[in-house]
Structure 1
Amino acid sequence: MLPRYRHKMDQARILVLATGGTIAGQAGSATRPDYRPGQIDIADFLDEFSRLGLDAQLEGRQVANIDSANIGPELWTSLHQQISAAIDDPAYGGVIVTHGTDTAEETGFLLDQTLPTSKPIVLVGAMRPADAVGSDGLRNFANAVQVAAHADASGRGVLVVMGEHVLSARDARKAHTAGTNAFKGFPRGPIGLATPVWLDWLAPPWRVAEPARFAFPNSFPIVPILHAFAGMEAACVTQAVAGGAQGIVLAGMGAGNSPDAVREALADAVRQGIPVVRATRADDGLVHREPEDDSNGFIAARALGPAKARILLQLLIANGVTSMDEAQAAFDKR
């Protein structure tokens, strides 16, 4: 049986980088269906958190206060720089990033691939704004503090805490538009269970003392995601190529499939030096390599959904990885 850890915070400080999202959102009414994300300053949020009486040393820093739909390379660069500095600073025991849920899986995966695993890095968000009935923000944050303050959280890559589930950033995906259980892990489920009092790890660390897998890009290559549909035409591909695509991710039907004309256009893009990844628009399931992938030059996304497949392909291109075999190995890696 894996050990259970009672709430006992490490004395090292935890740096909290706030980016906004629903966890910092307000509706102005406890029952109003719409709300404004990114309204609460991190100083006010941590002041409210301090009233819970949990023994934690937190240092807040407002990086942004926006809807996570607006997050992109500029903010990613700032987060990466500040987290890297905290990893190198012995005063910090870990880092928490408060983040909107819509793009948390992309930010988490990008950081997971470009940071070492020496200290806990935890993303946390909420599905209900702070002034809503049943708001989950403070509870989720308390759980994230429990994780970030624990030494055994390192060596697992970047983590995402939603509800009581601790997910690997490589596995975490938003699977529901609403409700506090909107996140799940695929292909692995939760790797830990957290409350403000208890922390249970369901598996041992698997990335102990691992360096960053990729250098953080100076610029992000143009990689569109093409969503496959019945009647899709090859023009969807040729227009992406004409628009300057440096790579393409197909959110394919089933196991990464597409109409014949689209597949042929994608193979032609590969012949022009544009890497193509076959992912799936389905919620679950692996996209395995097929015999035709060798002749077409395609990369199989394996367990990564289209959004994360896009991030990984951008990292590969930015780091000069052009071999299909090398790229496939990166998608196969856990």
Structure 2
Amino acid sequence: MPVRIAFIGTGGTIASIGSDPFDLLDYNASGERVDAATILDRTGLDGVIAEIVPVDFRQLDSTAISLQDWADLADLCKELARDPALNGIVIGHGTASLEETAWLLSLVLDLEIPVVVTGSMRPLTGLSSDAAANLAAAVRVAADPTGRGGVHVVLNDEIHSPRTVTKAHTLRLNAFQSPWSGPLGTIDGPAVNIGRREQRERSPLFSGDLLRRLPRVDIVYSYVGADGSAISAFAAAGAKGIVSAGFGPGLGTPAETEALADAIVQGVVVVQSARTGAGPVVDSAHHQRLGIIAGNDLNPQKARILLALCLARGDDAAAIRTVFQSL
């Protein structure tokens, strides 16, 4: 029986057509977006590695993806996975928020088949576009019989964990990196080489139903002279949680620390992450004294997603601290 992979098109650069081969920046304004079937047609991949079934979701710039989109995308993956003839799912996604979508899906999906999230840094028609190569690599990973279940990110012939991967460059083809851990594996020609597997590949922490009721969680970025007014504004706007993207190793300015303490008194749950790009925030005596939860090794945007899911589930601060510590 041939390997069968569903390709979900959500828009993004991988679905974009520029005005000419040198249109590598302005294609959102000057070009157009195409559906999943057209992407497969232009890349010529259907039937080469596997039978690929195009599935259209929405045509989105990934800067515009919403919480509702996340919930609907997770539901679509579950629906597709009910097909016993399907071996895997590949999602084409804009790179701006790709790491967040992949992390979110890894927390709520428990499927027997793999889900691979990919995208491209250059549009389909761009000079030396990486669209076809990234899609081919993602299909190979989704079709690989040795890796069942779980969510992975595949770009530039590298396989990354949704937990560790981040877009580390605005333009380069190797923009996606796992700064402190490196990739899980590589795609070398037709071979999928996974050097290590995550301890938690498939068991989700959360029910997908929670995606329909995620509370407001905001991120505040630390900088020299920050006075904490942004924190007070977020709390006043109804934030149930705040993630502090602090200085390394996980500290805000004195004024921010005071504002975070005030927010905690008001019932806001605060998680401390760092703006450094790599490394953990350790659960120190300072954080414990203030009631701030250490964000472990999650970057601010991923800490925000985990905190929102915890709050939606009804976890209190003590339970949320345990979740972050046990990752």
Shorter-chain TM-score: which interval?
over 0.9
Q: Partners in 2 of 1:103 and 1:52 — Cα distance?
A: 26
CA distance in 2, matches of 1:119, 1:47: 25
Asked if 2 retains the 8 angstrom alpha-carbon contact of 1:146 and 1:196, the reply is: no
The one of 246, 252, 255 equivalent to 1:258 is 252
Partner of 1:212: 204
2:221 partner letter: H
Please give the alpha-carbon distance, in whole angstroms, between the structure 1 residues aligned to 2:198 and 2:245.
31
What is the CA distance between 1:188 and its match in structure 2?
1.9
Q: Which runs of 5 or more residues in structure 2 are unaligned?
A: none
Q: Are the counterparts in 1 of residues 78 and 111 from structure 2 also a CA contact under 8 Å?
A: no
Which residue among 181, 184, 194 is the counterpart of 1:188? 181
Q: 2:170 aligns with which of 177, 202, 219?
A: 177
Which residue in 2 is equivalent to 1:14? 5
Structure-1 separation of matches of 2:145 and 2:219: 38
* Matched residue SS, 1:224: strand
Partner of 1:3: none
Contact in 2 for aligned 1:250/1:279 (Cα 8 Å): yes
**Counterpart in the other structure of 2:100:** 106
**Quick check: 1:118 aligned with 2:112?**
yes
Provide the C-alpha distance between the structure 2 equivalents of 1:221 and 1:323, rounded to a whole number of angstroms. Answer: 15
What residue number does 2:25 align with? 34
Which residue number in structure 2 is paired with residue 331 of structure 1?
324
Change beyond 3 A, Cα 1:242–1:204: closer
> 1: CA distance between counterparts of 2:90 and 2:324?
26
CA contact (8 A) 2:269 2:317 kept: no
Q: Hey, what's the Cα distance between the residues in 2 that align with 1:242 and 1:272?
A: 10
Query: What is the SS of the residue equivalent to 1:58?
Result: strand
Code of the aligned partner of 1:22: T
Moved more, 55-64 or 40-49: 40-49
- From 38, 49, 52, the equivalent of 1:55 is 49
Native 8 Å contact 1:106 1:307 kept in 2: yes
Task: Give the unaligned 5+ runs of structure 1.
Answer: 1-9
Alignment match, 2:192: 199
| Equivalent of residue 79 in structure 2, options 77, 85, 106 | 85
Q: Which SS does the other structure have where 2:268 is aligned?
A: coil
2:128 equivalent in structure 1: 134
Could you tell me whether the CA contact under 8 Å between 1:249 and 1:277 is conserved in 2? yes
Structure 1 distance, partners of 2:158, 2:241, is 34
Q: CA deviation at 1:97?
A: 0.5
Letter in structure 1 aligned against 2:199: W
Taking structure 1 as reference, are residues 51 and 105 closer, same or farther at Cα in structure 2, changes over 3 Å only?
closer
Alpha-carbon contact 1:25-1:35 (below 8 Å) kept? no
Offset from partner CA, 1:162-184 (integer Å, 9 cap, x none) = 11110011111000011100010
Give the counterpart of 1:233 among 213, 227, 237: 227
Seen in structure 2, the aligned counterparts of structure 1 residues 83 and 33 have a Cα distance that, compared at 3 Å, is: closer
Shift of residue 128, structure 1, vs aligned partner: 0.6
How far is the alpha carbon of 1:187 from its aligned partner? 3.3
* Secondary structure in structure 1 of the residue aligned to 2:233: helix
Cα root mean square deviation, aligned: 1.8
SS of structure 1 residue aligned to 2:286:
helix
For 1:23, the equivalent position in structure 2 comes to: 14
Aligned-residue offset at 1:290: 1.1
How far off its partner does 1:86 sit? 2.2
> How has the CA–CA distance of structure 1 residues 292 and 51 changed in structure 2, closer, same or farther, with 3 Å as cutoff?
closer
Q: Secondary structure at the match of 1:239?
A: helix
Q: Indicate the residue corresponding to 1:168 in structure 2.
A: 161
2:172 and 2:104 map into 1 onto residues whose CA distance is 25
Specify the SS of the correspondent of 2:213: coil
Report % sequence identity.
34
> Which has the larger displacement, 257-266 or 34-43?
34-43
Task: Give 3-state SS (helix, strand or coil) of 1:190's partner.
Answer: coil
